[in-house]
Amino acid sequence: MEKLYKKSEITFAIMLIIIYCILQSLANPLNELIGIEYLMSAVFCALQAVLIVCFIKKNNLSEKYGLCKAKVPASRLFFYIPLLVLVTRNFWNGFSLNLPIADTICYLVCMVFVGFVEEIVFRGFLYKAMAKDNEKTAIIVSSITFGLGHLLNLVNGSGAALLENLFQVTGAIAIGFLFVIIFSRGGSLWPLILTHSLINMTSAFANENGLSFAKELIFQAVLILVSIAYSIIIIKALPKENLNKE
């Protein structure tokens, strides 16, 4: 791993993304075979998270990849208040217990590690590798690849419908853009890992009853608008050139 990382950080990031996608695709049939949803998904994701953390710690890369304290105070990022709005998204149509208890526990554990792995891979390794040459391109690619990665749910046996998946993709691109902006200004992934994990975890309790296409469209529009508006506010309030002088 270290040789590949030193040779090409972009290739290393792509390799981590591919491994993540393969492991999660393999996990779905295993979950079905065992009879507990998300059990192997949680195991595989936890294993990858541990290996990534060991690699980062061994090579003293914690600060580079955001596993550190933010370099600007939370007040300058408006205390991440818009992130709290995004976390509530799954409750906008009410609350429901959608899985049996064992399945729910496995899902929640899995989503904690999903939030970590996806942030460290897309906002950490991929963004940082590309930002060395062109930060604007890195922001765009990191956001879009994160969103398009959700298309995997159409073919990996997770059971996601086309419309549901398209909503996931558009929302993920908008949130991905916001998250990479926050990381580029704040320097820490921890607020994003926490937010990402909570958004995923609360989806286990989202109420789908009575959720019409029109209502879902409105919810998605609000999510995207909040993400874009907060991104613009951060860009204006924390210009990168000013941060570099501090």
Give the pLDDT confidence of 42-85 residue by residue, as tens digits: 999 999 999 999 999 999 999 999 999 999 999 999 999 999 99
Assign 152 a pLDDT band (cuts: 50, 70, 90).
Answer: confident
Instruction: Map tokens 């613009």 to a residue.
Output: 232
- At 246 the pLDDT is 58
* Residue range(s) defining the domain that contains residue 77: 2-245
Assign 8 a pLDDT band (cuts: 50, 70, 90).
Answer: very high
95 DSSP β-pair partners:
206
236-240: long-range contacts, CB 8 A cutoff, minimum separation 24: 237/76, 237/78, 238/72, 238/76, 238/77, 238/185, 240/135, 240/184, 240/185
Assign 166 a pLDDT band (cuts: 50, 70, 90).
Answer: confident
What pTM was estimated for this model as a whole? 0.94
User: What is the amino acid identity at position 187?
Assistant: G
Residue 129 burial (CB < 10 Å; 0-12/13-18/19+)? Answer: buried
Q: What angle do CA 182, 188, 194 make, to 5 degrees?
A: 85
Q: Report how far apart, in Å, the C-alpha atoms of 166 and of each of 162, 172, 180 are.
A: 6, 10, 21
Does the structure show a pLDDT above 60 at 224?
yes
The number of folded domains in the chain is 1
How high is the mean pLDDT of the chain? 92
Q: What are phi and psi of 41, to 5 degrees?
A: -60, -45
